[in-house]
């Protein structure tokens, strides 16, 4: 969908700038006149929402970093000082902490949309892989940030997660322990750990911003996928990005900001853990150590495996699997709209992720209707891997898809639209 630029400088100044730094030309071609499929729905607005969320997290994070003290003896009190003594510090911190959850909510909706409409299939494989990299960087950034308040859950969360690397000792003796000690910067989670986690938490959002730029660049080469999963065949299938989608994205962004504001002003601790309002204490272990909600499905997979090394491999495999989805799906049809069998398994997969999240939020010995949740988590883990490594390849070969529309325009405008000649 990329082609010759339609930008024409309208003044001497704009022409002078365009000849030396063609930024106006770039903005025009990527945000104004870029031909976009005319049938994009609400689920395609989360790309813009995610860009907004990243900007909010970077700006509020910079402000918080001006007042935060990365010292094990002062970190907890510095956060309390931000909340009580810094002008509007409470607001900045709540926007930042709630913003992490809103960020992940939007990214999960973005990813599930991509899975449902087949946005990972050729020629958009690299767009999907870069998106998985962004997701991995987000998980790392969120983990480092969760440690910074230096409350009980922060301290013990850092201890438990970093200790997972010690399982490598079962493969190469002493290597896992060496990696863990290197991560800690000491022989236990402490001041050195907090310092390096703060540095990484500050650095990674800027790396994410750069990778997001690559993600958008990769998107603009083949162009957007669409709910029908069919290629653009004529100019009638597209509309300029502005004003059609800038207005639409702005409207849904406003709705998302309203939801964001409800949590910030009325339930700022909705996603938090009360144990994190107690200073870190290496001598007192919380009854249940759980990560933030957006990591709970993977945490459930980790706990579902009794053997530590295998649990870590399953955890890592669950994320690495996402990279191979473009090749695991053997169907020639992109969108689940035209795949009646795959659609059912997709929604079962969505429910499975919710079940895994619930299992991860409960205690190890929790029981539901007389069934230990640990077994439910094991079944959920089995379906997670089975969906990608078994169902996707097999269903793509045996399923009979529904007939596809001749073109996007014909589907949107009806039979009166003239389909392009093949």
- At 205-221, the pLDDT tens digits run 999 999 999 999 999 99
Q: What is the pLDDT of residue 3?
A: 57
In degrees, rounded to 5, the angle at the alpha carbon of residue 90 between the alpha carbons of residues 135 and 101 is 20
**β-bridge mates for residue 371, sequence order:** 368
Fold adopted by 33-289: Cytochrome Bc1 Complex; Chain C (1.20.810)
- Give the separation between CA 137 and CA 274, rounded to whole angstroms: 26
Q: What is the pLDDT of residue 416?
A: 56
Reading the block at residue 216, the tokens are 């958008």
Q: Mean pLDDT in the chain? A: 94
**β-bridge mates for residue 367, sequence order:** 372
Q: Using 50, 70 and 90 to split pLDDT, how confident is the model at 419? A: very low
Query: Which homologous superfamily is 291-403 in?
Result: plastocyanin oxidoreductase (1.10.287.980)
Q: What is the pLDDT of residue 285?
A: 92
What is the mean pLDDT of the segment spanning 28-49?
Answer: 94
Q: Map residue 3 onto helix, strand or coil.
A: coil
- At 370-392, the pLDDT tens digits run 889 999 999 999 999 999 999 99
Where exactly are the structural domains of the chain? 33-289, 291-403
Q: Are the C-beta atoms of residues 222 and 124 closer than 8 Å to each other? A: yes
The lowest-confidence range among 121-130, 134-143, 356-365 is 356-365
Query: Would you report the helix, strand and coil content of the chain in percent, each value rounded to 5?
Result: 70, 5, 30
Q: Using 50, 70 and 90 to split pLDDT, how confident is the model at 200? A: very high
The lowest-confidence range among 8-12, 309-313, 396-400 is 8-12
Q: Structure pTM?
A: 0.95
- At 260-289, the pLDDT tens digits run 999 999 999 999 999 999 999 999 999 888
**β-bridge mates for residue 238, sequence order:** 37
- Give the separation between CA 135 and CA 116, rounded to whole angstroms: 18
């Amino acid at each position: 969908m990329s082609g010759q630029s339609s930008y024409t400088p309208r003044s001497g100044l704009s022409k002078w700038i365009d000849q030396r730094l063609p930024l106006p030309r770039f903005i025009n071609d990527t945000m104004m006149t870029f031909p976009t499929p005319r049938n994009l729905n609400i689920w395609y607005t989360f790309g813009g929402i995610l860009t907004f969320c990243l900007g909010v997290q970077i700006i509020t994070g910079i402000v918080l970093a001006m007042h935060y003290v990365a010292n094990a003896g002062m970190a907890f009190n510095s956060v309390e000082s931000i909340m009580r003594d810094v002008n509007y510090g409470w607001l900045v911190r709540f926007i930042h902490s709630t913003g992490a959850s809103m960020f992940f909510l939007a990214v999960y909706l973005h990813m599930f949309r991509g899975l449902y409409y087949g946005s990972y299939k050729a020629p958009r494989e690299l767009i999907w892989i870069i998106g998985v990299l962004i997701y991995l960087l987000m998980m790392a950034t969120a983990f480092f940030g969760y440690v910074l308040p230096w409350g009980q859950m922060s301290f013990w969360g850092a201890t438990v997660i970093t200790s997972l690397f010690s399982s490598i000792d079962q493969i190469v003796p002493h290597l896992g322990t060496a990696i863990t000690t290197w991560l800690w910067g000491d022989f236990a989670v402490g001041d050195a750990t907090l310092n390096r986690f703060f540095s990484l938490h500050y650095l990674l959002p800027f790396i994410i911003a750069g990778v997001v730029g690559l993600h958008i660049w990769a998107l603009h080469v083949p162009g957007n996928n669409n709910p029908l999963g069919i290629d653009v065949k004529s100019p009638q299938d597209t509309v300029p990005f502005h004003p059609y989608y800038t207005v639409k994205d702005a409207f849904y962004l406003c709705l998302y900001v309203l939801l964001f504001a409800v949590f910030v002003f009325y339930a700022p601790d909705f996603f938090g853990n009360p144990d994190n309002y107690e200073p870190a204490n290496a001598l007192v272990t919380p009854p249940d150590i759980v990560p933030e909600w957006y990591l709970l499905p993977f945490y459930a997979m980790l706990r579902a495996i009794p053997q530590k090394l295998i649990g870590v491999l399953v955890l890592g495999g669950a994320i690495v699997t996402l990279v191979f989805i473009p090749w695991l799906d053997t169907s020639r049809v992109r969108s689940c709209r035209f795949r009646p069998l795959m659609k059912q398994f997709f929604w079962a997969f969505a429910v499975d992720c919710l079940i895994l999240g619930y299992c991860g939020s409960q205690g190890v010995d929790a029981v539901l209707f007389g069934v230990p949740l640990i077994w439910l988590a094991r079944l959920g883990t089995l379906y997670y891997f089975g969906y990608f490594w078994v169902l996707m390849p097999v269903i793509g070969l045996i399923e009979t898809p529904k007939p596809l529309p001749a073109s996007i325009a014909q589907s949107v405008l009806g039979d009166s639209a003239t389909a392009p000649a093949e």
